[in-house]
Amino acid sequence: MSRDSSSPAPGEPGARPGRTVRPPSPPRRGPRFGALVDSGLMLQGGVQGSSPLLRLFTRWVRRPLLPMMRLWRRNIQLKVVVTTLLMSLGVVLLLGFVVMSSVSNGLLKAKVNAAQSQADGGFRAAQEQANTAHQPTGQGGDAADGPTAQNAAVWLSELAEQLASGGQNAFYVVTLSSSASDSGSVRGPRASGGVDPIQSVPVDLRDRVDGGSLAYQSNTRIDFIDHRESQPGLVIGKQLSDLNGDSYQLYYLFPLTQEEESMNLVRGTLATAGLFVVVLLGAIAWLVVRQVVTPVRMAAGIAERLSAGRLQERMKVTGEDDIARLGEAFNKMASNLQLKIQQLEELSRMQRRFVSDVSHELRTPLTTVRMAADVIHEARVDFDPVTARSAELLADQLDRFESLLADLLEISRFDAGAAALEAEPIDLREVVRRVVGGAEPLAERKGTHIRVVGDQQPVVAEADARRVERVLRNLVVNAVEHGDGKDVVVRLAAAGGAVAVAVRDYGVGLKPGEATRVFSRFWRADPARARTTGGTGLGLSIALEDARLHGGWLQAWGEPGGGSQFRLTLPRTADEPLRGSPIPLEPDDSRRHRGLGGAGLPLAGGTKRATVPHQAPPDRVPPPVPAKAPIAPRLARAAALDVDPTALPGSGARVVPRQAWEESGAERAPGEGSESGADVENGSYGEADSPTGAVAAAEAVESMRADADADSAAPLSTDAAADSDTPNSTDASADSDVRTGADAGAGREEEASRGR
Amino acid sequence: MKGRVLVVDDDTALAEMLGIVLRGEGFEPSFVADGDKALAAFREAKPDLVLLDLMLPGRDGIEVCRLIRAESGVPIVMLTAKSDTVDVVVGLESGADDYIVKPFKPKELVARIRARLRRSEEPAPEQLAIGDLVIDVAGHSVKRDGQSIALTPLEFDLLVALARKPWQVFTREVLLEQVWGYRHAADTRLVNVHVQRLRSKVERDPERPEIVVTVRGVGYKAGPS
């Protein structure tokens, strides 16, 4: 979040959203504030700064709403209830509006009619009075103008009083001078009943009355001079002429207090009713939705429990409605599931039982045969050569048959999930000592010396001694058998929460891709040369299963002709997840770490890479790398195929390829000194394992092998090398192909079957 | 050294082959094929060692083992086709001293039989103390406060091995070699089960052992006396 909010506005292209960009203080509000300032500056500068500002604003507004939105998204009940509330509110408002307008129409119409007739009568009376009063004064009008004006004023006042007196406060009368005529002081506004004449008559009505000769009406508020509360009212006005023939305005004001009270009552009632209706509708929606949602939620909960393995969970079903049908269907599904799982479990049990029985049934006669064979074998000196040899073969092959049977049973036990870990704290040095002791006779026959490194301190881990010993025996025996009589190094280490044993040999090594395949059942490196060594082909598979059972890793690394290293990593305590291994998977003395090309060539600096027939330097120890074929220099770039150690959940069998840009970049630097330095750092604990392309992607294996076969015939050409030198060539398989070609050239001849 | 060996096995071919091998090694084998008749045959033959198949018609091997153990401390070696931990541990807990997984080599079998019979050779008079126990090696008795505790010969050997070197921590492998007589460590489950059984007899509180003490990550040693 902070990354987003502190990201610079567009227009700051160079600035990465990192810590350095942010203002150092204040700590919390800082980034956002800074961004605001930034975008503000952007705005002033005239660059399009509004979009980040807007974005920022929306984000700022949205943030506190997020939990609510989440609730909204997740809670269907809330959704339905709120929707119901809103919609019913709308309906009620609409209804209220309609009802209110019709009621007010009905109430007011009568009043307005009455008022209009009243006002009409008043206007007529006023005009008549003016006409009658006009006759006498009309004759003497010339004589005295002043008294006439005086008279007109008095007359108007009297008129107003007179007109109002008939109403008993049911209406008020106001006279105003016509604004068109000159307004003498005598023509001041007059009003009955203490009404404020100016305030009570709206200006626009006065204008209209002024302009026409008809009666006009309008709604108004009636104000009083004597601080009485103003009342709502209807005003009707008309322009009349007074006794002098001058025009004036006469207004009737009808208070509408009663009507308004009725309206208020109706409005209040409607509002209360509406509120009730809305709330009740909401409650009803809540109840109804609950009826539907509760079983759905129950189903969801039970489905979760089912998936967690509690297969006997069922929904409660009542009635026969759709929800009940859902429940029934759900329960049927659950019981079918349970049945199937039980069947499978039963099958698995039967399978296990079968394996166990077969084992017993097979083993008893095998024991008899074995003993008989041994007795015959003991007595073979008395036989003729053919029978004696047959006796030997019989005994030997019985051994093999036995170990094969044992391995098969062990594998089937793993497959059936019947393997149980008996972990207790053991010192791996003891185990290693026993294993090495056991392998000594074989090593002597092969002329191999087994060295143990790192056994000064105890290496204690919670593990199953029997299984660990089996794994290590397998690794050590394999290393001796495939080590070409060269040294085998067993390395022990403990660090962090992990212990590791690595078995290193300097034999034929592994081709790219083989590091993952050695763990496959019955896998042999070269099918044509299989069965030269006596293994069952299941040893490493069992070892891998043993490692997995411990929550550990068993991984392989190897380079053609450069030997291989198998590493067993175990967690120190049984329930601890592994994060790394104390020993790097690729040994320090691998070709790459010694700064050598794949074929033992020192890496050439610069871009000058040519096809050079080459002999390995003889002074390289440990064992010199044989290079019999002309080969292209190994390109460091080809090692870009890397393995992420954290992507190895249990074993080397699931190796995930990854382009390691940094590493490849470092390696492309000319000169071998800097390169080996970097790699030594990688080798330190912290699990920067960097197996080369030798531990390649399993997916790429097939194509690589194919290419290796094709390329091994001819030396690699220069253009292939130049191609892989381009850092932008991200195609992993292309790189690997080049490399494989070189490897095949180097190691193909020495490649022997590795039937592990 | 002559030894009478009772072979309890329902597989006649295997029994016959065992007979051939055992006679070849100078033992006197006798045979019984039925679990129900095993106890009677045991009483009749009075063998120095019993070879017992786990899967038998009638009473199974576990039951037979328990019955024999109830009346005799004679060494019992189980023959089992199952190497699963559960099967092995159940067999050992029922009182067997050792087990051997089919298919086995005749030499291996004979070695184990000899190892089990060897201990009956005369030991030198020796008094040992472990915890509050007094062990008379020659008299083959273990006493606490004058009360003797009944142990099978194997359990006795185990206790004596620990008591002879109270300063030493014995790994399971060393114990296997010393008590069971194995050259190469085969199976430490044997040691675990027998230590449990020994504890249940000699410890005051088997949950908090004071005589046979576990040294985490290494093995066992004798408790302070």
Helix (H), strand (E), coil (C) string for A382-437? HCCHHHHHHHHHHHHHHHHHHHHHHHHHHHHHHHCCCCCCCCEEEEHHHHHHHHHH
Minimal Cβ distance to A367: which of B20, B102, B185 = B102
Residue B168 shares a structural domain with residue B62: no
Minimal Cβ distance to B81: which of A364, A368, A458 = A364
The angle, 0 to 180 degrees and rounded to 10, between the axes of the packed helices B189-202 and B85-93 is 30
Cβ neighbors of A636 (< 8 A, separation 6 or more) are: A592, A597, A603, A664, A667, A668, A675
Could you tell me if A356 lies within 8 Å of chain B, comparing CB atoms? yes
Give the CA dihedral A366, A522, A568, A512, nearest 10 degrees: 160
CA angle B40, B42, B45 (to 5 degrees): 105
Nearest chain A residue to B186 by CA distance is A466
- Banded pLDDT at B184 (limits 50, 70, 90): low
Length of chain A counted residue by residue: 756
Give the strand pairing for A488-495 and A498-505: antiparallel
Query: Which chain A residues have a beta carbon less than 8 Å from that of B51?
Result: none
**Final residue of a domain: which of B118, B151, B186?**
B118
DSSP label of A161:
H
- Looking at residue A45, what is its pLDDT? 42
Phi and psi for A426 in degrees, rounded to 5? -130, 155
Measured CA to CA, the distance from residue A748 to residue A744 in angstroms comes to 5
Length of chain B counted residue by residue: 225
Give the CA dihedral B137, B140, B145, B149, nearest 10 degrees: 140
- Looking at residue B132, what is its pLDDT? 80
Query: Which chain A residues have a beta carbon less than 8 Å from that of B24?
Result: 375
Residue B96 shares a structural domain with residue B14: yes
DSSP H/E element including A221: strand A216-222
The reply to whether residue B103 touches residue A374, judged by beta carbons under 8 angstroms, is no
- Looking at residue A135, what is its pLDDT? 59
CB atoms within 10 A of CB A69: 10
List helix spans (H) across B119-188: 153-164, 172-175
Query: Which chain A residues have a beta carbon less than 8 Å from that of B105?
Result: 370-371, 374
CB atoms within 10 A of CB B186: 18
- Looking at residue A566, what is its pLDDT? 92
Minimal C-alpha gap between A666 and chain B (Å): 44
Minimal Cβ distance to A465: which of B17, B107, B188 = B188
CA angle B118, B123, B126 (to 5 degrees): 145
Residue B14 shares a structural domain with residue B93: yes
Determine what percent of chain A is predicted with pLDDT higher than 90: 8
Q: Which conformational region is residue A38 in: left (phi greater than 0), alpha (psi within -120 to 50 degrees), or beta?
A: alpha
Residue B199 shares a structural domain with residue B136: yes
Minimal C-alpha gap between B217 and chain A (Å): 4
The reply to whether residue A367 touches residue B173, judged by beta carbons under 8 angstroms, is no
B103 preceded by cis ω (within 30°)? yes
Minimal C-alpha gap between B103 and chain A (Å): 4
DSSP secondary structure of A450-482: EEEES-SS--EEEE-HHHHHHHHHHHHHHHHHH
**Final residue of a domain: which of B118, B135, B169?**
B118
Residue B23 shares a structural domain with residue B99: yes
**Final residue of a domain: which of B92, B118, B144?**
B118
The reply to whether residue B82 touches residue A360, judged by beta carbons under 8 angstroms, is yes
pLDDT single digits (tens) A271-299: 999 999 999 999 999 998 888 888 788 88
Residue A635 has pLDDT above 50, yes or no: no
Measured CA to CA, the distance from residue A471 to residue A567 in angstroms comes to 10
Q: SS3 of A255, please? A: strand
Residue B81 shares a structural domain with residue B141: no
Q: How many CB pairs below 8 A link A and B?
A: 73
Could you tell me if A470 lies within 8 Å of chain B, comparing CB atoms? no
Minimal C-alpha gap between B113 and chain A (Å): 15
DSSP secondary structure of A291-336: HHHHHHHHHHHHHHHHHTT-TT------SSSHHHHHHHHHHHHHHH
Window 194-233 of A, Cβ < 8 Å to B: none
Could you tell me if A441 lies within 8 Å of chain B, comparing CB atoms? no
Nearest chain A residue to B24 by CA distance is A375
- Looking at residue B150, what is its pLDDT? 84
Measured CA to CA, the distance from residue A212 to residue A460 in angstroms comes to 113
Could you tell me if A420 lies within 8 Å of chain B, comparing CB atoms? yes
- Looking at residue B72, what is its pLDDT? 83
DSSP label of A378:
H
Residue B32 shares a structural domain with residue B81: yes
Domain containing B89 equals 3-118
Residue B157 shares a structural domain with residue B214: yes
The reply to whether residue A466 touches residue B216, judged by beta carbons under 8 angstroms, is no
Q: Which domains are seen in chain A, by residue range? A: 2-74 (no CATH), 103-260 (3.30.450), 424-747 (3.30.565.10)
pLDDT single digits (tens) A389-410: 999 999 888 888 888 888 888 8
Query: How distant, in Å, are the alpha carbons of A391, A571, B124 from that of A578?
Result: 50, 6, 53
Nearest chain B residue to A353 by CA distance is B82
The reply to whether residue A420 touches residue B85, judged by beta carbons under 8 angstroms, is yes
The reply to whether residue A360 touches residue B81, judged by beta carbons under 8 angstroms, is yes
The reply to whether residue B84 touches residue A356, judged by beta carbons under 8 angstroms, is yes
- Looking at residue A567, what is its pLDDT? 92
Measured CA to CA, the distance from residue B137 to residue B156 in angstroms comes to 9
- Looking at residue A90, what is its pLDDT? 92
First to last CA, chain B: 37
Minimal C-alpha gap between B102 and chain A (Å): 6
- Banded pLDDT at A745 (limits 50, 70, 90): very low
Give the CA dihedral B16, B17, B22, B24, nearest 10 degrees: 110
The number of folded domains in chain B is: 2
pTM confidence score? 0.49
Give the strand pairing for B49-53 and A424-427: unpaired
pLDDT single digits (tens) A71-125: 888 888 888 889 989 999 999 999 989 998 898 888 888 888 888 888 888 888 8
CB atoms within 10 A of CB A262: 14
The reply to whether residue B11 touches residue A364, judged by beta carbons under 8 angstroms, is yes
Query: Which chain B residues have a beta carbon less than 8 Å from that of A356?
Result: 82, 84
Residue B147 shares a structural domain with residue B93: no
Cβ neighbors of A125 (< 8 A, separation 6 or more) are: A163
Query: Which chain A residues have a beta carbon less than 8 Å from that of B103?
Result: 363, 366-367, 369-370, 402
Residue B32 shares a structural domain with residue B114: yes
The complex's ipTM? 0.73
DSSP H/E element including A569: strand A563-571
Q: SS3 of B6, please? A: strand
- Looking at residue A510, what is its pLDDT? 84
| Cβ atoms of residues B9 and B34 within 8 Å | no
CA angle A662, A664, A665 (to 5 degrees): 60
Residue B43 shares a structural domain with residue B100: yes
CATH number at residue B190: 1.10.10.10
Higher-confidence residue: A527 or B149?
B149
Average model confidence (pLDDT) across chain B: 83
CATH number at residue B17: 3.40.50.2300
- Which own/partner pairs from A340-343 qualify as long-range (CB within 8 Å, at least 24 positions apart)? A341/A311, A342/A311
Measured CA to CA, the distance from residue A579 to residue A548 in angstroms comes to 14
pLDDT single digits (tens) B31-79: 998 888 888 999 998 898 999 988 888 788 888 898 888 888 888 998 8
The reply to whether residue A371 touches residue B106, judged by beta carbons under 8 angstroms, is yes
| Cβ atoms of residues B162 and B222 within 8 Å | yes
Minimal Cβ distance to B14: which of A364, A434, A460 = A364
Query: Which chain B residues have a beta carbon less than 8 Å from that of A366?
Result: 102-103
Nearest chain A residue to B80 by CA distance is A360
Amino acid type, A28: R
Query: Which chain B residues have a beta carbon less than 8 Å from that of A465?
Result: 172, 188
Question: Which residue spans within B121-202 are E strands per DSSP?
Answer: 127-130, 133-136, 141-144, 147-149, 170-171
Residue B51 shares a structural domain with residue B149: no
Query: Which chain A residues have a beta carbon less than 8 Å from that of B174?
Result: none
| Cβ atoms of residues A235 and A209 within 8 Å | no
Amino acid type, A673: G
Helix (H), strand (E), coil (C) string for A587-612? CCCCCCCCCECCCCCECCCCCCCCCE
Mutation test of the interface with chain A: which of B17, B55, B112, B192, choosing the one with the most A Cβ atoms within 10 A?
B17
Residue B114 has pLDDT above 70, yes or no: yes
The reply to whether residue B84 touches residue A426, judged by beta carbons under 8 angstroms, is no
| Cβ atoms of residues B192 and B173 within 8 Å | no
pLDDT single digits (tens) B196-212: 888 888 888 888 888 88
Residue B183 in tokens:
């050259």
